[in-house]
């Protein structure tokens, strides 16, 4: 989605929330998916971030251009076909 909508102002950030993940393994996966946007490796126990963010993986937060949270998608809802219509609408504004 980043490639498709970057020209319209979409900014994507991924966060790997598995503190056991090895940097090389995470990098290999990101390279496989050609993830050319900001990618972070979180070094916090899953329970801690899950409680603080009130989220379980997979999870996608969508913010508007002013940085306000518009919607949070979790579990089965965190899929492109459910997120993309909202992104397209927000990018028109």
pLDDT in tens, 34-89: 888 888 887 777 788 888 888 887 889 999 999 999 999 998 999 999 999 999 99
- The overall pTM is greater than 0.75: yes
- Position 25 scores a pLDDT of 79
Neighbour tally for 64: CB within 10 Å: 12
When pLDDT is cut at 50, 70 and 90, the band that residue 14 belongs to is: confident
CATH architecture, range 2-91: 3-Layer(aba) Sandwich (3.40)
Q: Using one digit for the tens of pLDDT, what is the confidence trace for 82-92?
A: 999 999 999 99
| pLDDT(23) > 80 | no
CB 83 within 8 A of CB 1: yes
DSSP 8-class letter at 92: T
């Amino acid at each position: 989605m980043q490639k498709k909508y970057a020209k319209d102002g979409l900014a994507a950030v991924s966060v790997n929330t598995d503190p056991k993940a090895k940097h090389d393994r995470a990098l290999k996966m990101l390279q496989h998916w050609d993830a050319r946007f900001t990618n972070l490796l979180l070094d916090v126990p899953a329970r801690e971030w899950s409680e603080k963010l009130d989220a379980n993986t997979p999870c996608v937060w969508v913010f508007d251009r002013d940085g306000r949270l518009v919607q949070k998608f979790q579990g089965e809802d965190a899929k492109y076909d459910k997120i993309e219509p909202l992104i397209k609408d927000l990018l028109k504004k």
